[in-house]
Amino acid sequence: MRKCWNIRGKVEEQNISGLGDFVYTLDVEETDEDSVVKFDLTPLFRVYHIHDCLGIQEQFREYYYKNRLLQLNSDLQISTAQPFVESYQTYLAQIAGYFIVEDRVLRTARDLLSANHVETMWETAVVKMTSGLEEQFSHMDSATHLLLVKDYVTLLGATLGQYGYEVGQVLEVLDRSRDKYHELLLGECQEQIVNALGSDTYEQMVMKKDSDYENNVLCFHLQTSDIMPAFPYFAPFSSMVPNTCRIVRSFIKGSVDYLSYGVHTNFYDIVRKYLDRILIDVLNEVLLSTIHGGAVSVSQAMQIAANISVLERACDFFLRHAAQLCGVPIRSVERPPASLTAKVVLKTSRDAAYLALLNLVNTKLDEFMNLTENINWTSEETPQNGNDYINELVIYLDTILLTAQQVLPLDALHKVGSGALEHISNSIVGAFLSDSVKRFNANAVLSLHNDLNMLEDFADEKFHSTGLSEIYKGGSFRGCLLEARQLINLLSSSQPENFMNPVIRQKNYDALDYKNVASICEKFKDSPDGIFGSLSTRNTKQSARKKSMDMLKKRLKDFN
C-alpha cells in the first residue's frame, strides 16, 4: 500500500456580512492505505457566492489571494522555537495541505483563483522552501535525520506532483545534498568499523549451529563450498568480517534509500561510487591503520590478512546486493568489467598485512636464531647434529605454517613459508658477513650444514603436506634456502676455487654474490695442522682444501 496525505479541512466564518476575516485550518497526517483526500469547501463557496450576489466578487478574489499569500509566507517560515528534525513533518505537511486546497479551489470555485495565481504561489513556495531546506540540511550532523527529512520531502514531491505541480526543483535539493548525506553516513560507518575491528579478538569464529552459519557466512556469500559443514564449524575468519559486512550492507541500504525517488531514476552507478568510497576510504584505511599500528601479534596479523582475503570475496556480494536494491539485473554486474575498484585496493591492504605478518615472523625467527651468539665459530669439536636453536626454530615454523594453513589461502600460505625460509637463508649469510664474526673454521660450517639439512627436510615435508606441491609444480620451499645452501656447499667444497669457473659457478653457485663470497672467505681460517698432521691423510686433504681456498681468496681479490 502506498502512503498518501490525509487532509481534513475546516473553515470558520466570521463577520460574513462584511469582508471580515475567515480562518482556514488544516490537519495533515500520513496514512498507510489508498484514500481520497476529503475536505469540505462548502463554507468558502458560500462566502464567495454571497460576495458574487453583492457584486463585489472581484474584491473578494483579491482579498482571498492576498490573504492566502500571507498565509503561505507564514507557513513557509521555519520555526526556530524547536529543532528542524522535530518540526519538519508539520512544516512540510502544512505546505502540502495548502497547495492541495488551492488546487481544489482552482478547479471547483469557478474563477475565484486563476492558474496564474496558483503558479505564482507555487513559485514563491519553491524558492523559499528550497533555500530553507538547503540551509537546514547544511546544519544537520546525522545521516538518519537527513534521511528522515528526505523521505518527507519526496513524499511531498510525489503528492503534489500528482496534482500537477512542478516539483523538480524541490527534489533537486535532495540531489545537491546527497554528498552531505553520504559524508555523514560514511562517518557513522567508520566509527562502527573501528569498533568492529577494535573489539575483535582476531580468533577464528566458531559456529555451533546452522543458523550461525546462515547469519555469518551464507547471507554474505562467504562460503567456499555449497556443502553445509559439520558443527562446530571453525571459520577461516574472525568476527570483524561478518560485522563489517553488516555495516557495509547497511551503508548500501542507506545510500539506496536516499537516492530512491529522487531526480535520478537510474542511480546504480552513483551507489557504486559511494560503495567504493566506504570500502576504500573507510574500511581500507581502518585496516591499514590497524596493521601499521604496531600493536598486533603474529597470530593477529595472520588473521587480519586472512580476513582481508575474505572481504575481497565479499566485494562481489556487495555489488550484487547494490544491484538488487537498485533494480538492476544481477547478470549485468557479474561481468568482469563490473568489479569494484575497492577489490583491487583491498588486495593492496592484504599485501600490507602479509608484509607486516612476515616482518613479525622474521623478528621472532631472529630471536630463535641469533646466530652470532648461538654458533661456536671456532669450535675444535666436529659437530654430529644441528645446533641447539634449530629444534626450537623448526617447532616455531611448524606452528606458524599450521596456523596459516587453517586461515590463509594457499597462495598466502606459500608467501608466509617462502618469506620465513628466505629470511633464514639471508640470516645465515648475514651472520657470516657480520662484523661480530671475525673468523670461523670448518667445524662452524659443518654445524650450519647440519642445521640446513634439518630445515630443508622440514621445508620439503611442509611443501607436500600443505598441498602446495599440487599447485606450484616444480617449486619447493627448499629453494628459498638456496643462497645459504650454496654458501655452505662452497665453504665445504674440497675445491672452492672452482667458484671462479664460470660454468661451475653458474651451475652450483649462481645465487652467491662475488663481494659477499670474498668477504666471507677472508674470515675462513682452519686451525693449523697438529705436530703429526703431515702423517695424516685427513690433514693432507685439509691442506689441499686450504690451498684451494687460498687460491680462491687471491683470485677474488684480483677480480675485485
C-alpha dist (Å) from residue 462 to 361, 405, 490: 17, 10, 27
Single out the residue of 493, 488, 491, 486 nearest to residue 508, CA to CA. Answer: 486
The pLDDT confidence band at residue 522, using thresholds 50, 70 and 90, is: very high
H or E stretch covering 11: strand 4-13
Instruction: Report d(CA 346, CA 318) in Å as an integer.
Output: 14
Single out the residue of 273, 286, 346 nearest to residue 315, CA to CA. Answer: 346
Across the strands, what pairs with 23? 12
Single out the residue of 398, 413, 450, 410 nearest to residue 428, CA to CA. Answer: 450
One-letter amino acid for residue 70 of the chain: L
The 10 Å Cβ neighbour count of residue 343 is 19
**pLDDT tens for each residue of 474-487:** 889 999 999 999 99
Residue 11 has pLDDT above 50, yes or no: no
- DSSP letter, residue 314: H
Q: Is the pTM of this model over 0.75?
A: yes
Q: Give start and end residues of each alpha helix (H) in 284-409.
A: 285-291, 298-326, 341-369, 371-374, 389-407
Question: Angle at CA 529, nearest 5°, toward 528 and 533?
Answer: 180
One-letter amino acid for residue 28 of the chain: V
Torsion angle of C-alpha atoms 55, 56, 61, 62, degrees rounded to 10: 150
Residue 4 has pLDDT above 80, yes or no: no
Instruction: Report d(CA 538, CA 193) in Å as an integer.
Output: 69
Across the strands, what pairs with 233? 207
**pLDDT tens for each residue of 523-551:** 998 754 443 344 444 555 567 888 888 88
The 10 Å Cβ neighbour count of residue 198 is 10
pLDDT of residue 14: 34
**pLDDT tens for each residue of 293-338:** 877 889 999 999 999 999 998 998 999 999 999 888 887 776 655 5
The 10 Å Cβ neighbour count of residue 355 is 16
pLDDT of residue 29: 44
Residue 203 has pLDDT above 90, yes or no: yes
Spell out the long-range contacts of 226-232 with Cβ–Cβ below 8 A and sequence spacing 24 or more. Answer: 231/207, 232/206, 232/207, 232/208
Give the three cell numbers for residue 385.
Answer: 647434529
Phi/psi at 11 (5° precision): -110, 130
Single out the residue of 387, 361, 383, 362 nearest to residue 374, CA to CA. Answer: 387
Q: Are 483 and 448 in contact (CB under 8 A)?
A: no
Single out the residue of 138, 217, 226 nearest to residue 184, CA to CA. Answer: 138
**pLDDT tens for each residue of 113-160:** 889 999 999 999 999 999 999 999 999 999 999 999 999 999 999 999
Share of the chain above pLDDT 70, in %: 88
In Å, how far from its chain's centre is CA 207?
A: 24
H or E stretch covering 26: strand 22-31
- Mean pLDDT over each residue of the chain, to the nearest integer: 85
Q: How big is the chain by its Cα radius of gyration, in Å?
A: 40
Instruction: Report d(CA 229, CA 213) in Å as an integer.
Output: 9
Phi/psi at 4 (5° precision): -145, 170
Task: Look up cell 535525520; give the residue.
Answer: 145
Strongest mean pLDDT among 21-35, 248-262, 426-440, 538-552: 426-440
Task: Look up cell 522552501; give the residue.
Answer: 129
**pLDDT tens for each residue of 406-434:** 999 898 999 999 999 999 999 999 999 99
pLDDT of residue 265: 66
C-alpha dist (Å) from residue 244 to 144, 192, 194, 300: 19, 8, 10, 17
Please give the average per-residue pLDDT across 383-401, as a whole number: 90
Single out the residue of 502, 499, 504 nearest to residue 516, CA to CA. Answer: 499
pLDDT of residue 454: 95
How many residues make up the chain in this entry? 560
The pLDDT confidence band at residue 382, using thresholds 50, 70 and 90, is: confident
pLDDT of residue 9: 36
